[in-house]
Amino acid sequence: MECEQVRHELEAYRQGELPPDVQTDVKAHLDSCSACAEEAVAMARTGDLLRQGLHDWVEAGEVPPELARQIEIQIRHAVRRRPWWQNWQVGVVAAAAVIFLVLVATQPDVAGHVATVPLLGSFAAQFVAPGLEYHVDAATPDRMAGNAKTYKLTATGTGGGVTLTVHRVDIDSDQTQIQYSLEGVPLDTAVVPTSYLPTLATAAGPVAFHGFKATKHGDVLEFTASFAAVKPDEPLTLSIAQFPQAVAETVTWAVPAAVSGRVEAAPDAYGAGLIAWVPQGSKVLATLQWPEGKLLHLTDFTAVDAEGKTHAVTETGAVVSKNGKVVQQLLIDLPGGRGPVTLTAHKSIQAAPGSVTVSFTPAGK
Amino acid sequence: MTLEESFFALYKPEQNRLYRTAWAILGNEADAGDALQEATIRAFRAFGQLKGGAAAFPAWMRRIVVNTCTQILRKRMRVIPVERPEDLQEEPMAPEIDIPLGSEVWEAVRSLDERYRAVVVLRFLNDMQLEDIATALDIPLGTVKSRLHAALKMLKSRLQTADGERRGAV
């Protein structure tokens, strides 16, 4: 054995951690090489000093009173209240683990959507600029500042025993917000609202979906859905599709192309989320961002579609910290998937309560 | 006694030690505090499954803290700092006369780069086998050995000078 090689093994040798033959080789070398033998003694002495010194230092420690108090509060809190993530995610250990779901719909257009997914109220509520009549009972456009417009209306349509009623449409330069309700949806499970997903379309195709909130009033589900901005006088079609498999109630987060969604608990709503319409067989790049110091890492990702099929999620590149933000990127491969895909981060490392911003961009075929 | 009270009865006497253990592994107090909080909650949630009773608690709790810390380290080592100028400054050693030996050793260890410090602390404070350190930090065994050797070389002169002075003074 060469001297340099032996010197790398000295600590393992001293504690008998080497395979027997290597242990013998190192011993033979030390017996014949005085320089290495001296080095071994010096390293052993240094190791002893370190061991003793570090133990002394640890024994002399005192936890800051504020931290001790904080820990006590957290434990007592943990006793009193089961955190929301424990209700549906088994095996998550981190105290404030951030677990989120993202819906990514894999159908590129409404027509394909109609053909492949059972629709409720397909094209049932069609509302267009004032003057045209479909199922709109009343439309009261109030001209607001700039190009912003609000339509109060009652537009109804039915499908599959479910009645869809649109109550109000707000259009401004940032977003399009639609208030609507569903009546006749079987309300036997709490997860129902998240399996009824809205699509807003113009003549040019679907409008990017930012998210929606649902609340239950008796047997009526009331929704407020947000989409990307549209031109104020553009004809719009709202469709509600029922996806075959509902997703978890508390956290349904979905993010459309190039739009960021904030991931946080929505305790008074059934869920909120954003959906990206991406062509089948394509890839989606997910960019996760969170403030430095809050959360070190999200890991153990899965992407499962409505049929229970798992799609590959690749963590691309390094996790980078920049300007106080930590950025992580994932590539989700969706080869011919159908319906919503649920992306889940099953574990977080050292999370403080906070939020993760997720944005999605199509990443090609 | 409630579960919570039993937990605290065992946890409190260990808390100071656990805090410094986390500090030694992670290199700073803020991260140590976060890690200790996380580890304590983990431990509390798993407390019902602890086998071996009170006698087993200190080692069990310590293992949870060390695991939490190495998990953080593993992830941290994957995070590439783009802007962290202030982190790179080494703290100068204050020439105190009556520093206890433990502090001197810690000052020497903390001045090491994180990659070296973590290996040294896991080895000499936590008495982990080199293979276990490799697994915990997700690095090859050869890297552990070379880091440890380099760290010991760096620390040797510093510690033995201090040690020699102390012996000479007695």
Lowest average pLDDT, out of A116-120, A157-161, B139-143, B161-165, goes to A116-120
- Do A93 and B42 form a contact (C-beta atoms < 8 A)? yes
- Do B75 and A315 form a contact (C-beta atoms < 8 A)? no
Higher pLDDT, A164 or A159: A164
**Is the CB of A54 less than 8 angstroms away from the CB of B106?**
yes
Amino acid, single-letter form, for residue B50: L
**Is the CB of A46 less than 8 angstroms away from the CB of B21?**
no
Phi, psi at A35, each rounded to 5°: -65, -45
Strands (E), chain A: 101-105, 119-127, 136-143, 149-159, 162-171, 175-183, 196-202, 205-206, 209-217, 220-228, 236-242, 260-263, 275-277, 282-291, 297-305, 310-311, 313-322, 325-334, 340-349, 356-362
Report how far apart the first and last C-alpha atoms of chain B are (Å, whole number).
Answer: 51
* CB-nearest partner of B145 from A12, A53, A56: A12
Lowest average pLDDT, out of A16-30, A207-221, A338-352, goes to A338-352
DSSP state of A96: T
Which residue in A108, A109, A114, A336 sits closest to A240, CA to CA?
A114
| pLDDT at position B110 over 80 | yes
**Is the CB of B4 less than 8 angstroms away from the CB of A60?**
no
**Residues of A in Cβ contact (< 8 Å) with B80:** 318-321
**Residues of A in Cβ contact (< 8 Å) with B44:** 75, 78
For B1-48, how does the pLDDT look when each residue is reduced to its tens digit (9 = 90+)? 778 888 999 999 999 999 999 999 998 888 899 899 989 988 988 888
Cross-strand pairs, A197: A241
**Residues of B in Cβ contact (< 8 Å) with A323:** 82-83
| pLDDT at position A163 over 70 | yes
Mutation site for B-interface testing, chosen from A15, A63, A323 by largest number of B Cβ within 10 Å: A63
Provide, rounded to the nearest whole percent, the portion of chain A with pLDDT above 70: 43
Per the prediction, chain B carries an average pLDDT of 80
DSSP string, B32-46: HHHHHHHHHHHHHHH
- Do A232 and A149 form a contact (C-beta atoms < 8 A)? yes
Nearest-Cα residue of chain A relative to residue B7? A75
Which residue in B110, B10, B115 sits closest to B73, CA to CA?
B115
Instruction: Grade residue A176 by pLDDT with cuts at 50, 70 and 90.
Output: confident
Question: Min CA distance, A25 vs chain B (Å)?
Answer: 17
DSSP state of B158: H
Higher pLDDT, B125 or A282: B125
**Residues of B in Cβ contact (< 8 Å) with A11:** 123, 130, 145, 148-149, 152
Which residue in B17, B124, B7 sits closest to B65, CA to CA?
B17
**Residues of A in Cβ contact (< 8 Å) with B159:** 46, 49-50, 53
Provide, rounded to the nearest whole percent, the portion of chain B with pLDDT above 70: 78
* CB-nearest partner of A95 from B37, B100, B160: B37
Nearest-Cα residue of chain A relative to residue B153? A43
**Is the CB of B79 less than 8 angstroms away from the CB of A321?**
yes
**Is the CB of A78 less than 8 angstroms away from the CB of B20?**
no
Higher pLDDT, A33 or A105: A33
For B66-83, how does the pLDDT look when each residue is reduced to its tens digit (9 = 90+)? 999 998 888 777 665 443
Question: Min CA distance, A268 vs chain B (Å)?
Answer: 26
The rounded distance, in Å, linking the Cα atoms of B96 and B113 is 23
Helix (H, G, I), strand (E, B) or coil at B64: helix
Per the prediction, chain A carries an average pLDDT of 62
Q: Which residue pairs, CB below 8 angstroms and at least 24 apart, start in B38-42?
A: B38/A94, B38/A95, B38/A350, B38/B68, B39/B64, B39/B65, B39/B67, B39/B68, B39/B69, B40/A71, B40/A74, B40/A75, B40/B11, B41/A74, B41/A75, B41/A78, B41/A95, B42/A93, B42/A94, B42/A95, B42/B68
Instruction: Grade residue B120 by pLDDT with cuts at 50, 70 and 90.
Output: very high
* CB-nearest partner of B129 from A17, A299, A322: A17
Nearest-Cα residue of chain A relative to residue B121? A54
Lowest average pLDDT, out of A130-139, B76-85, B101-110, goes to A130-139
**Residues of B in Cβ contact (< 8 Å) with A295:** none
How high is the pLDDT of residue A27?
A: 92
Higher pLDDT, B17 or A155: B17
**Residues of A in Cβ contact (< 8 Å) with B121:** 54
Instruction: Grade residue B65 by pLDDT with cuts at 50, 70 and 90.
Output: very high
**Is the CB of A54 less than 8 angstroms away from the CB of B160?**
no
Which residue in A270, A345, A334 sits closest to A306, CA to CA?
A334
* CB-nearest partner of B16 from A10, A15, A61: A61
Interval A40-50 mean pLDDT = 90
How high is the pLDDT of residue B78?
A: 64
Question: Min CA distance, A255 vs chain B (Å)?
Answer: 25
How high is the pLDDT of residue A135?
A: 37
For A256-315, how does the pLDDT look when each residue is reduced to its tens digit (9 = 90+)? 222 233 333 222 222 223 333 344 456 777 777 766 655 445 666 777 665 667 777 887
| pLDDT at position B117 over 70 | yes
**Is the CB of B37 less than 8 angstroms away from the CB of A42?**
no
**Is the CB of A322 less than 8 angstroms away from the CB of B16?**
no
Interval A168-190 mean pLDDT = 75
Higher pLDDT, A191 or A303: A303
For A64-109, how does the pLDDT look when each residue is reduced to its tens digit (9 = 90+)? 998 998 888 878 776 654 333 332 222 222 211 122 223 333 222 2
**Residues of A in Cβ contact (< 8 Å) with B125:** 51, 54-55, 58
The rounded distance, in Å, linking the Cα atoms of A38 and A228 is 73
Question: Min CA distance, A45 vs chain B (Å)?
Answer: 8
Which residue in A190, A187, A180, A191 sits closest to A155, CA to CA?
A180
| pLDDT at position A11 over 60 | yes
ipTM of the complex: 0.83
Question: Min CA distance, A212 vs chain B (Å)?
Answer: 33
The rounded distance, in Å, linking the Cα atoms of A80 and A130 is 54
| pLDDT at position B156 over 60 | yes
Helices (H), chain B: 3-26, 29-46, 53-78, 101-110, 114-124, 130-137, 141-169
Question: CA-CA distances (angstroms) from residue B47 to A76, B15, B19?
Answer: 14, 16, 19
Residue whose entry in the numeric block shows the structure tokens 């002893």: A48
Q: In this structure, are strands A149-159 and A205-206 parallel, antiparallel, or unpaired? A: unpaired
Which residue in A188, A307, A181 sits closest to A240, CA to CA?
A181
**Using alpha carbons only, what angle is made at residue B61 by residues B55 and B64, rounded to the nearest 5 degrees?**
145
A-B Cβ pairs (cutoff 8 Å, strict) = 178
* CB-nearest partner of B146 from A8, A49, A297: A8
Nearest-Cα residue of chain B relative to residue A97? B38
**Residues of B in Cβ contact (< 8 Å) with A72:** 8
